[in-house]
Amino acid sequence: MARTDLNTRTGADSVIRFILGRLVKAVFILLAILVFNFLLIHAAPGDPAAVMAGEAGAADEKFLADLRTRFGLDQPLYVQLFIYIKGAVQFDLGYSFRQQMSVAEMIGDRLPATLLLTGVAFVLSLVLGVAAGVAASARQGRWGDTIISTFALLFYATPLFWVALMATLVFSVWLGWLPGFGYSTIGANYTGMAHVLDVAKHLVLPASTLGLFFMAIYMRMTRASMLEVSRLDFVKTARAKGLKRGVIQRRHILRNALLPVITLAGLQAGQIFGGAILTETVFAWPGIGRLMFEAINQRDYNVILGVFYISAAMVLLFNLITDVVYVIVDPRIRLTT
Amino acid sequence: MKNFWRRFSYNRGAVIGLFILTLVILTAILAPFVFPQSPWKMVQRPFLPPFTDNALLLGTDALGRNVISGLAHGAYVSLLVGLVSTIVALAIGVPIGALAGYFAGRTDDALMRFTEFFQTIPSFALAIVLLAIFQPSLMFVIIAISIVSWPPVARLVRGEVLSLRTREFVEAATLSGLGNTQIIMRHILPNALPPIIVLASLMVAQAILLESSLSFLGLGDPNIMSWGYMIGAARTVIRTAWWLSFLPGMAILLTVLSLNLIGEGLNDALNPRLTRKTQ
Amino acid sequence: MTLLSIRDLAIALPVGADRIYAAQNINFDLAAGEILCIVGESGSGKSMSANAVMGLLPEGVKPVKGNITFDGREILGLSEAEMLPLRGGRISMIFQEPLSALNPLMRVGAQIAEVFEAHGALSKSERRDRALKLLEEVGIPDPQAAIRAYPFQLSGGQRQRVMIAMALALEPDILIADEPTTALDVTTQAQILKLIEDLRKSRGMAVIFITHDFGVVADIADRVIVMQKGEIVETGTADEVLLKPQHAYTRALIDAIPRLVQRVDTEADQGKPLLTVENLEKTFSTGAGSLFGKRRVVKAVQNVSFELFAGETIGIVGESGSGKSTVGRCIVRLLDPDAGRVLMDGVDISHLAGAELRDQRRKLQMIFQDPYSSLNPRARVSRILTEGLIAFGTSKDAAHAKACELLEMVGLDASAMKRFPHEFSGGQRQRIGIARALALDPSIIIADEAVSALDVSIQAQVLDLLAELKTRLNLSMLFITHDLRVAARICDRIIVMQKGKIVEAGPVSKVLHDPDSAYTRSLLDAIPGQEYERALALAEAEV
Amino acid sequence: MLKPINLIASAMLALALASPLAAQDGTPKSGGTLNVVIQPEPPSLMLGLVQNGPTQMVGGDIYESLLRYDSELQPEGQLAESWEISEDGITYTFKLREGVKFHDGTPFTSADVEFSMDKFLRESHSRMRTYMEHVESIETPDDLTVIFKLKQPFGPFIGIFEPGTAPMIPKHIYEGTDFASNPANNTPIGTGPFKFDKWEKGSFIHLVKNEDYYMEGKPYIDDVYYHVIPDAASRAVAYETGKVDVLPGGSVENFDVPRMQAMENTCITDKGWEYFGPLSWMWVNSDNKPLDDVKVRSAIMHAVDREFAKNALWNGLGKVATGPFSSSTRFWDGDTPDITFDPEKAKALLAESSYNGEKIRILGLPYGETWQRWAEAVKQNLSEIGMDAEIVPSDVAGWNQKISDRDFDLAFTYLYQYGDPALGVSRTYMGSNAAPGSPWNNVSNYQNPETDKLFDEAALMANPEDRKAAYKAVQDLIVADVPNIWMLELGFPTIYRCDIKNPVNTAFGVNDGFRDVWIDRD
C-alpha cells in the first residue's frame, strides 16, 4: 500500500499498524488460553452433575444421567472443546449448569461491577502511587522518604483480605460510616444521582482496599525511576538553562520517569483482577471475581471458563491500552516502528 | 564484602527489616521446642481473650486452641512455603529467561510468548483453579504459587542476559574458545545475580501473601496450621473475637514488610549505580 | 576588564572518596571575549571549577574555601534562587555527551524556547522566531524541520549545535564548554570549534573551554591552564604554555601527543599474506520483527578486501558509522558476514562452525576498547588469563605459569593474579586485556579502538607496549581507530573507510601526507593542532 | 482427656431458649417490607425442579401444597379445605378450597393437582417419584375433589403434602412443554401469598403481596426482599446495621449467635425444623480395614466429644444424637444402647480391636467454618485415644465425588428426616438402597436383612402403635452395630427482630412462607 512520506513522518499510521499487530497477537493468546483452561478445568475431580444432584436434596442414578446428557458432559472431551470454542468466538460462552442461565448473560450482569471496582482501584493506585513516588524521590535519604516508602510498603505487605476485614470492622461496624458490603442499599431503589451516590458510598471501602494495595508497587517504581532519570545529562542541561526546580521536576524528570510506570501498569492488570476476587468475596461485591470463586467451588465449568476468557480479554485490552499510551508518549517508538 | 554491608546498612529500613526477619526465623525454629504440643490441641475454653491466662499468653481461638502456639508453628509454614515456592519459581524462570536472552531470534520469541501467555491469566485465579484441581495439600500449594510467580523472573533474567550478552568480556570469552554453557554459567549469570537476588526477596514476600490468601479462602492444606488458615478460620467470628484475625494478620504484615525492606536494602547494596557515584 | 575572577577556590569531595579535594587553590581570571582553555587528564578536577561557577556541583560535592566574583559581584555563596537569573542568562554551559544532553520526549524548538520562558523573556510567538534564528546562526540545515524534530532524529553534531543555540539564547557574557567535542568525529569537531570561534568574535563572548586534547587547545585557546590531580600546575598564554612549557607534567603531556610525523617505513617481507579478506559484505536491518513494521536496512560493510602480511600492522581508520569495527568483528566471526571470504593460511573461516571455528579462531585474538567492560568484574585476573588455555586443554599449572609470564610481559607484577578487575586503573586493565589476547599465542591481533578510552599519557605507554610486543612476538596486527594521529604512530599501512567502503589504502607516509581521496584530505585537515605540531617540530629542530 | 474444662458453666447455658416463642399476641398490622437473608443463592425458584434449601425458602412463599403441618407434624388445611382417609388407609379424598387463583389469574382446580402429582413431580422430583410408586390412581370427579387410591396402606403418605415435596404447579403453563427449559421457570407462578417480582443475580430476590390471595387480609406485609450475601461476617453486619430483619437457620456462623442474641429487639427460636429433623453423623466406610471391626467403630463412637461440639461449635443449640432417629421424628425412642462420650472405654475397645495405627481419613463437610472446625475437633478427639487421623480437603464437588466413589474413611454429613422414618431414615440403612453414586443412599453400605425386613413392614402398617414397636426394635439393632457415628441433632436458630410477629409457626419454619407474618412497627 503506498504510503506518502508525510504520513509516516506524523507517525499516525505507525500507531495504527502497531495496534493491528497487537490485536492479532491478542487473538492468538486468547485462543490459547481457552484451550489451556478447558483442559485444566476438565482435569478437576468431580463434575457439575454430581454437584447439581447434591444441591437438589435427593437424586438417583436416572436424575444424574439425564443431567449429564442435558449438559453434553457425556460427549468426548475434544467434541466439547470444539463446541466450546465455536461458541466462544460468537460470544456464546455456553450455559451455566448451576444457575440455569447463559454464562455470557451472567458475566454481562456482573462485569460492570468488577470494571467499576478495578477501574477505580487502578486509577486510585496509579495517582496515589505516582504522587507518593515523586514526593519520596524529592526527599531521598531524608526521613520523609523513609516514612512515605514504609507507609506505602505497609499496604503492599498486608494481605488484601485482612485489610478488607479490618476496614469493614472499623469503618462499617464500629464507626458505621460506610456500608460494609454490597453494591447498593437494597430495597431503597434510589434513582439517578441518589443511586450514583449510594453506589459510590458502597464503593469506597472495596476500591480503597484494592487500590492502596497496588499503590505501593507504583510508588516504588516511580521513586526508583525518578532518582534514575534525575541523574541523566539532560537534567543537568535543564538546570544550566536556569529552569526552576519545580519545572525541571515536572516537565523533564517526571515525563521520562513515567515511561517504566506505564509498562508496569500494563503488567499489573492481571494481578488487579486476582485482588478483585478477594475484595469482592469479603465485601460481597457482585462482580465476576466472586462469581469465579463460587463457580470454582461448584465446578460450574462454563462459568469458570467464561470468567477466565473475559478476564484474560480484559487484561489483554488493558495491555494494549498501556502499550498505545506508551507509543504515543515516547516519540522514539512512534516514529521508528 | 565489607562495603556491601556498609551500603546495605545505609538503608535504615533494611536493617529494621533484617532484625524482624531474624526474629521470625527464630520463632519458626524454636516453635517445636517452646510449644511441643500440636497447635491443633484444644486446651481451654474458646475465645479466651489475650493476656488473661498467663499459660496462654494470646488466649484461645474458636475451638479453644492455643493462639500463640498456632502463630509460632504458622511462622515455620509461611517461611517454608515462601522460600520453597520462590526457589522453584527461580528454577523455572531463570533458565527460560537465560535461554530466551542468550539465543535470541525464534527461541526468544517462543519462550517469551509462553511467558506472556502465563502472565495474561490473572495469577491468583489460576492458583485457585490449580488447587481446586489437585485438592489442596502443602506440596500443591507450593507448586501452584511457583507456577504463577515464575514469569516476572523470566522477564528480568532475559533483560539482564540480553544486555550482558553484548558486553566485551563475553565476546572475549567466546574468542578464547569457551562453549555457550560455560559462558552463560561463568560469565553471564554471575553478573545477572544482583537484580535476581533483589527480586527473589520480593518473591518470597509475595508467596507468603499468596499462601495466606489461598488458606483464607479455604484452599490451604487443612492439616497445616498456617497464618492464612488462622485468619480464614477467625474471619466469621471477627466481631466476637477480632484479635483472632488481627494477630496472624500482623504476623504476615511484619514478615512480608521485613522481606520487602530487605529487598530494597539489597537493591541499594548490590547495584551501586543507584547510590551516589563520586566523580 | 576581568569578567570573572576565582580566588583560591577549594572544592571538597564527599567523605570516602579517593582524595579530599576535587580541586584546590584554584586562581584564575577571565576577561570579556577571551577563550580560556583548561586542560588536564580525567580526574584532574578540570570541570569541577567550571561547575562551581554555575553552582551545578554534583550532590555531596561542596566548595569549602575561596570566592568567585562575576561582573564585580560575589556569586559563590549565592542561594539557588539568586543563581537562577545568572544561569543561562549571564553564564551558560554546554556538555560533553550530545546524545543524552537533550530531553528525548520534547521537541527541539520547545527546549530552546524554554530558556526564554525561564527568564521571562519574549512572548510565545517571538520565542519561536528567535529559536529559528538561533538554529540558523549555529548552522543547522533546514531549521524549520529541526525545530519540530525530536532529539533522536538529529545527529550528534546537530544536537551539539542545538545545545549551543540554547546557550546563546539570552546573549550570555560567558559560555562554559565542558569537553563539547570529545564525543564527536574529528570533522564535526572541527566545525563546532570553528562555530565557537566565530561566535566569540560576533558576540564578544568569553569562553571557558575544558578539554584533554592539546590539539584542540592549540587551535582555539587564548590563554591556557594545565591541571593535575585538582591543582593548577601551569598558567599562561597559549604560546607560552604550548611552546615553552615550564612544568615537567605539562612537558610530559605534550610529548605524549601522537603526531602525524612521518614514521620510517619498515619494508614488510612480502611473502604469502597471513590473512586475506575478499569482498566482505555485512548488512543490519532494524525495525524488523513486528508483522507490519517496515524494515530499515543499513549496509555496514560493502565489498571490503585487503591483505595482511606477517609482522605487518594495518590501521583501519574511519569516523563512527564507517563500518571499521564491523570489519574487525566479521573477521573474528563475532558477527557472521553476509558474503565474502576470510582466508587464514588458506582456510576460509567466514563460514566455519563448531570445533573447526574454535581452533582456527585461536590464532586470531582481539583487544577491546572499554577497559571497564572488557574484563569480567566477577572473575580474578588468574581466571581471566587461564580460562582460554584451559579450554584448549592446557593443564591448570602450565596455564598458571604462562599467565604469570604474560603479566610480566605487559609490565604488571605477578601479585595481580589474585586481584579483581575493579582494583586496577584503566591503563592496567588494558594491559590485562592485552595479556589475555596473547594467552593463546595468536599470530594476528585485532585491536578495536584499544587506546581511545585512555588518557593521552597512558595511551602513549600502551602504544609503546603494543609496538614492542609486536616485534618481540613477531605478531601482525589490525589496528582499528578513529584517530589518524594514533594510527600514524603505530601502523605500517593505513586503510581509510567511509560509510562501509574503503576509500583509500596505502603505506602510512603516502596516506598521511599525499592522500589520493578528498575524504582523507578532509579528515587530515580536520585534525586539530596541525600548525602547533609544525611549530613544535621546528622548536625541537632548533634546540 | 481434655483438661477439666468448666465449659458447661459458661455463658452458653444462659442462651437456652429463655426467650418465649412470640405467640399470636396483639392484633396484626398490615403493611411493611420484610428483609430476609438467603444463603446460598438458589439456583432456581421453580420448586418442582429444584428442591434445595434456599429454593424451598423462597418457593414456600410462591407455591403452596394441599396441607400444612404444625410443630407436632399434625396436618392442617391449606389448598385443601378438608380431607379424609378410608378405614383401610387406601383412599385419600381431598376437598379443595373454593375460588383459589394462580398468580396469573387462572383458577386452581383438581386438574392442576393431578397434573402436578402425576406428571410434573413424578418426572422431575426424585423424592416424589418414590412416593408416587405407592399410588394406584388419581381421580378428579369435579373441580374441587381429588381422590388418591394407594396400592396398599402407606402411613407416611399424609405427610408429603407440603410445598417442598408436593408444590402445586400451574397445568396451563407447563403441560406439554419440556419442564426443565420452560422459560416460565425464571418467572415462577403459584398460588402462594406472594408473587415473584424481580431477581437481581448476586444481590436480591423481590416478592410482592398477592393482592387476591384467597385468605382474607393475608398476607399482612407488602413485600419480601431475600438478600444474597455470600460472606457470613457480612450477613451478621447486615443484620446489625438494620438492613436485614430475619436470619434463617444456618445463615450466620454459630459463633456469632450469642453476640447477636444479646442485641436489643432480637429474638431467637430453634423451632421450625421439626419436619426436617436435621441429624448430623459421620458415614463410616466399613469396606476399609479396620473400620469393618465393630469394636473400632464403637471406640470412635465413644471417643467423639459431642457435648463439647454442641457447646463450642453450635452454641449449645441442638441435642446430642441418641441414634439414627431425630427426637422430632415420629416413633423416636430415647433409651437405645449407650453411645455416650467415654474416652477410657474407647481406649479399651481400641486395644481389643484389630486397629494397629492405620491413618483414618476424615472428610469434612464443605459448608462453612463450623463444619471445618468440627472435623478438626474430631481429628483431635481421635488422636487423644491414640488413633492417627488426617483431614481430607474438599470443596462441594469434591465431597460429592468422594461420597459417590466411597473414597473416604469417615465422612461428615447431615440429612433431613421429613418427619417419618419411612420417608427420611430407612433410605440411609436399607441394604437395597446401598448403590454408590448418591449422598442420600446407604453410603456406609450397612447390610442387615433383619432391619431391612423391620423397615419394610413398619412402613406399611396402618396402626401407629405397631409402627412404634417395630421402629424401637430397629433403633436398638442399628445402634448396637454402630454403622455410622451419630453426632448431633442440629439446632438451626432463626434470628429475627422481635417486632416481626410469628415468622415461625409451623414445622417448616421460614420455608412455610410468611403468610401469617406481620410487622409491629408504626
The answer to whether residues C329 and C468 belong to one domain is: yes
Separation between Cα atoms, residue D461 and residue B255, nearest integer Å: 69
The answer to whether residues D352 and D452 belong to one domain is: yes
The pLDDT value recorded for residue A120 is 92
**Residue among B222, B237, B240 whose CB faces D391 most closely:** B222
Q: Domain boundary residue among C144, C169, C194?
A: C169
User: In chain A, whose CA is at the least distance from the CA of C115?
Assistant: A241
* Res. B274 pLDDT band, cuts 50 70 90: very low
* Res. C267 pLDDT band, cuts 50 70 90: low
The pLDDT value recorded for residue B89 is 95
The pLDDT value recorded for residue D17 is 41
The answer to whether residues D463 and D362 belong to one domain is: yes
Q: How many domains does chain D have?
A: 3
Distance to chain C for A243, nearest Cα, Å: 5
Q: Domain boundary residue among C150, C169, C188?
A: C169
Q: Does D178 touch chain A (CB under 8 A)?
A: no
The answer to whether residues C391 and C404 belong to one domain is: yes
Which CATH number goes with the domain that contains D129?
3.90.76.10
* Ramachandran class of B47: left when φ > 0, alpha when ψ lies in -120 to 50, beta otherwise: left
- pLDDT tens string C188-234: 888 888 888 888 888 888 999 999 888 888 888 999 999 988 889 99
Torsion of CA D182, D186, D188, D193, to 10 degrees: 180
**Residue among A240, A330, A337 whose CB faces C287 most closely:** A337
Q: Does D340 touch chain A (CB under 8 A)?
A: no
The pLDDT value recorded for residue D8 is 40
Provide mean pLDDT across the span C247-254: 87
Q: Write out the E strands in D63-185.
A: 67-69, 75-77, 80-85, 91-96, 135-142, 145-150
**Helix intervals (H) in A58-191:** 61-70, 77-89, 103-138, 143-157, 160-167
**Residue among A20, A243, A245 whose CB faces C292 most closely:** A20
Torsion of CA C423, C425, C427, C433, to 10 degrees: 20
Nearest to B143 by CA among B134, B155, B154, B153: B134
Q: Domain boundary residue among C416, C439, C462?
A: C439
User: In chain B, whose CA is at the least distance from the CA of D2?
Assistant: B43
**Helix intervals (H) in C138-224:** 143-148, 156-168, 186-203, 214-220
The answer to whether residues D420 and D319 belong to one domain is: yes
* Res. A44 pLDDT band, cuts 50 70 90: low
Inspect the interface and report whether the beta carbons of A315 and B120 lie closer than 8 Å. yes
Separation between Cα atoms, residue B64 and residue D255, nearest integer Å: 13
Inspect the interface and report whether the beta carbons of A238 and C105 lie closer than 8 Å. no
Separation between Cα atoms, residue C522 and residue C515, nearest integer Å: 10
**Residue among B135, B232, B239 whose CB faces D393 most closely:** B135
Quote the domain boundaries for residue D455.
279-489
The pLDDT value recorded for residue B154 is 93
Nearest to A49 by CA among A68, A66, A72: A68
CA distances from D51 to B67, D57, D396 (A): 41, 10, 17
The answer to whether residues C184 and C148 belong to one domain is: no
The pLDDT value recorded for residue A57 is 45
Which CATH number goes with the domain that contains A240?
1.10.3720.10
User: In chain B, whose CA is at the least distance from the CA of A160?
Assistant: B213
- pLDDT tens string B140-189: 999 999 998 999 999 999 999 988 888 889 999 988 888 888 898 889 98
**Residue among A29, A220, A299 whose CB faces B117 most closely:** A29
The answer to whether residues C140 and C19 belong to one domain is: no
Nearest to C515 by CA among C218, C260, C233, C266: C260
* Res. A9 pLDDT band, cuts 50 70 90: very low
Query: Residue D178 gets which letter from DSSP?
Result: -
Separation between Cα atoms, residue D232 and residue D226, nearest integer Å: 15
What is the residue whose three cell numbers read 547510590? B275
Provide mean pLDDT across the span C397-407: 91
In a domain, C151, yes or no: yes
Which CATH number goes with the domain that contains D221?
3.40.190.10
- pLDDT tens string C161-187: 899 888 888 888 999 999 988 888 888
- pLDDT tens string A192-228: 788 888 888 888 889 999 998 889 889 988 988 998 8
Distance to chain A for C291, nearest Cα, Å: 6
Partners of residue B108 in chain C, C-beta under 8 Å: none
Separation between Cα atoms, residue C471 and residue D110, nearest integer Å: 121
pLDDT at A49 over 70: no
Partners of residue B276 in chain C, C-beta under 8 Å: 14, 58-60
In a domain, C368, yes or no: no
The answer to whether residues C123 and C77 belong to one domain is: no
Partners of residue C297 in chain A, C-beta under 8 Å: none
Inspect the interface and report whether the beta carbons of D437 and A168 lie closer than 8 Å. no
The answer to whether residues C118 and C246 belong to one domain is: no
The answer to whether residues D324 and D466 belong to one domain is: yes
Write down all domains in chain B, each with its CATH number in brackets.
Answer: 2-34+61-236+249-274 (1.10.3720.10)
The answer to whether chain A touches chain B by having 3 or more C-beta pairs less than 8 angstroms apart is: yes
The pLDDT value recorded for residue C290 is 45
Q: Which position has the higher pLDDT, A51 or B133?
A: B133
- pLDDT tens string D97-116: 888 888 888 898 888 888 88
Quote the domain boundaries for residue A202.
112-334
The answer to whether residues C359 and C447 belong to one domain is: yes
Separation between Cα atoms, residue B38 and residue B73, nearest integer Å: 9
* Res. B97 pLDDT band, cuts 50 70 90: very high
The answer to whether residues D148 and D259 belong to one domain is: no
Q: Does D399 touch chain A (CB under 8 A)?
A: yes
Distance to chain B for A215, nearest Cα, Å: 15
Separation between Cα atoms, residue C446 and residue B171, nearest integer Å: 13
The answer to whether residues D111 and D177 belong to one domain is: yes
Are the C-beta atoms of residues C445 and C437 closer than 8 Å to each other?
A: yes
Per the structure block, which three cell numbers stand in for A304? 469458570
What is the residue whose three cell numbers read 587506546? C451
Which CATH number goes with the domain that contains D476?
3.10.105.10
- pLDDT tens string B35-90: 888 888 888 888 888 888 888 888 888 888 889 999 999 999 999 999 999 999 99
The answer to whether residues C164 and C23 belong to one domain is: no
In a domain, C267, yes or no: no
Separation between Cα atoms, residue C155 and residue C145, nearest integer Å: 14
Q: Which residues of chain D have pLDDT under 50?
A: 1-24
C92 three-state secondary structure: strand
Q: Does D126 touch chain A (CB under 8 A)?
A: yes
The angle at the Cα of C33, spanning C28 to C38, to the nearest 5 degrees, equals: 40
Inspect the interface and report whether the beta carbons of A315 and B274 lie closer than 8 Å. no
The answer to whether residues D351 and D252 belong to one domain is: no
Mutate to test the interface with A, among C142, C285, C290 (most CBs of A within 10 A): C290
Separation between Cα atoms, residue C383 and residue B169, nearest integer Å: 13
- pLDDT tens string A51-81: 555 554 445 666 677 767 766 677 777 777 7
Distance to chain D for B32, nearest Cα, Å: 18
Quote the domain boundaries for residue C27.
1-83+173-255
Amino acid found at B70: G
Q: How many domains does chain A have?
A: 1
Q: Would you say how long chain D is, in residues? A: 522
Q: Cis peptide before D290, with omega less than 30 degrees from 0?
A: yes
D79 three-state secondary structure: coil
Distance to chain A for C21, nearest Cα, Å: 22
The pLDDT value recorded for residue D26 is 67
Q: Does C59 touch chain B (CB under 8 A)?
A: yes
User: In chain C, whose CA is at the least distance from the CA of A229?
Assistant: C103
Q: Which position has the higher pLDDT, A167 or B10?
A: A167
Are the C-beta atoms of residues B244 and B61 closer than 8 Å to each other?
A: yes
Q: Domain boundary residue among D161, D189, D217?
A: D189
Are the C-beta atoms of residues D262 and D495 closer than 8 Å to each other?
A: no
Q: For D442, what's the count of Cα atoms within 13 Å in the CB-facing half-sphere?
A: 19
The answer to whether residues C286 and C359 belong to one domain is: yes
The pLDDT value recorded for residue D250 is 76
pLDDT at C288 over 50: no
Amino acid found at B46: P
The answer to whether residues C146 and C131 belong to one domain is: yes
**Residue among D3, D259, D393 whose CB faces B43 most closely:** D3
In a domain, A253, yes or no: yes
The answer to whether residues D330 and D396 belong to one domain is: yes
Burial class (CB in 10 A: 0-12, 13-18, 19+), C473: middle
Separation between Cα atoms, residue D340 and residue A235, nearest integer Å: 83
Provide mean pLDDT across the span B7-25: 87
Query: Number of A:C CB contacts under 8 A?
Result: 95
The answer to whether residues C433 and C450 belong to one domain is: no
The answer to whether residues C334 and C380 belong to one domain is: no
Which CATH number goes with the domain that contains C306?
3.40.50.300
Angle between helices A288-298 and A103-138 (to 10 degrees): 120
Q: Determine phi and psi for B60, rounding to 5 degrees.
A: -125, 165
pTM of the model: 0.79
pLDDT at C526 over 60: yes
Q: Does C60 touch chain B (CB under 8 A)?
A: yes
In a domain, C266, yes or no: no
Q: Does A271 touch chain B (CB under 8 A)?
A: yes
CA distances from C463 to A12, C319, C430, C447, D442 (A): 52, 20, 11, 11, 96
C376 three-state secondary structure: coil
Q: How many domains does chain C have?
A: 4
The answer to whether residues D41 and D14 belong to one domain is: yes
